[in-house]
Chains A and B, each alone.
Chain A
Amino acid sequence: MIIKVKIYTIPTCVYCKMAKDFFAKNEIEYEEYDVSKDKKALAEMVEKSHQMSVPVIDIENEIFVGFNRSDIEKVLRILKQKK
């Protein structure tokens, strides 16, 4: 069972670190894009989220702005049931 996760981050952002720690702890692989350096990823992030704020988390095309652990846990539970 593989859940596709992308995280758009900035190195100094603590909520990004918390999000990454969370996925690591739950042994879920993620692709990370540093939008302070990667212009293409920044454009993609803004297009997906309509927001200028990090982190943006893309879980199987569902978009989360910021890191809200209980919201993300909920969506992961649903995805795991589906798969």
Chain B
Amino acid sequence: MYDLAIIGGGPAGVAAGIYASRKQIKTVIITDIFGGQSLVSASIENWVGDKSISGFNLAKKLEDHLKVQQGIDIVDGDFVLKITKNKDLFVILTKNNKKIEAKTLIVASGSRRRKLNVPGEQKFEGRGVAYCSTCDAPLFKNKSVAVVGTGNAGLEATQDLLSYAKQIYLFGRASDIRGDASTQAKIIKSEKIKIILNVQVKEILGDKVVTGLRYIDLNKNKEDILEIEGIFVEIGSIPNSELVKDLVLINKFGEIVVDHKTQQTSMRGIWAAGDVTNGLYKQNNISVGDAIKAVLNIQSHLNSL
């Protein structure tokens, strides 16, 4: 039985693990992989303390820093399926059939990629529909591709494709580009890129592989078809809050509602940090701070038991 179970191995989960271990709280951390969603980022330039670091190396650093801590149990390559409450304890069930009991929880399970949910998307996944630009961009050498989404992830995908694709269409639903101005400035100069705003993708077309997409111009209410061979989907994320949906208050966006002073959820004994919460900004650095707040608050909670 543990005093604290941390769910997630992104920046929030790892920060919580390091602090909990240093506070000598009997802790277990459960995660599928380390690093969180930034793992696939080619270059992160706002992680404080590193001028530039790849997502892969950030994940390694986080994992290394956690693994030198004393007295913390690490369960990796596994993930939590279900959490139930049994009197004053939480019972965690994992995919590999592990049953773990803990007095308190930090849910730092992050979020996952939002999909378009249009016809053709699932059928052509890996056959022109791609979700990882650092992985798959070179496979679209001299091809015409679309990037859907103008947030930072969409702009980074566009940047990753620049050296390979023949032509890139950047699709956005809003009337302006949402990502960081500095990344915008880097890509906007290229003649390869055509920006198409106020549009919504309706269908992905193809035979064996993607051949095009059907979209609607939201201003003119007019449909059009664009011939492309690849489509990179970067339209944001959905919080991984299902595992505690019967235990804590979750808002209409699927985010766990927390007290921003302490990161406590609506249920005594459960805290949450990082992208799974209703914190206003989803950032690696913020997730770290929030997770630390949670641990410090948990320490006073455990002392009062």
Contacts and interface: CB of A to CB of B under 8 A. Distances in A.
Interface of A: 10, 12-18, 35-36, 42, 49-55, 65, 69-70
Nearest 6 CB-CB pairs, A to B? Answer: A36-B138, A51-B126, A13-B135, A53-B126, A14-B56, A12-B134
Contacts of A18: 33
A53 B40 CA distance: 14
A69 B139 contact: no
Given A13-B134, A51-B127, A35 B139 contact: yes
Interface residues of B, number: 27
B44 interface: no
Contacts of B56: 14, 17
A53 B135 contact: yes
Contact of A35 (B54, B59, B138): B138
Contacts of B40: 14-15
Nearest to B95: A70
Interface of B: 33, 39-40, 42, 54-56, 59, 77, 95-96, 126-128, 130, 132, 134-141, 160, 209, 230
Contact of A53 (B54, B130, B141): B130
Contacts of A13: 132, 134-136
Contacts of A16: 135
Nearest to B131: A53
B18 to A, nearest CB: 22
A15 to B, nearest CB: 6
B138 A52 contact: no
Contacts of A54: 135-136, 139
A42 B160 CA distance: 19
B42 A42 contact: no
A14 B55 contact: yes
Given A14-B55, A17-B56, A52 B126 contact: yes
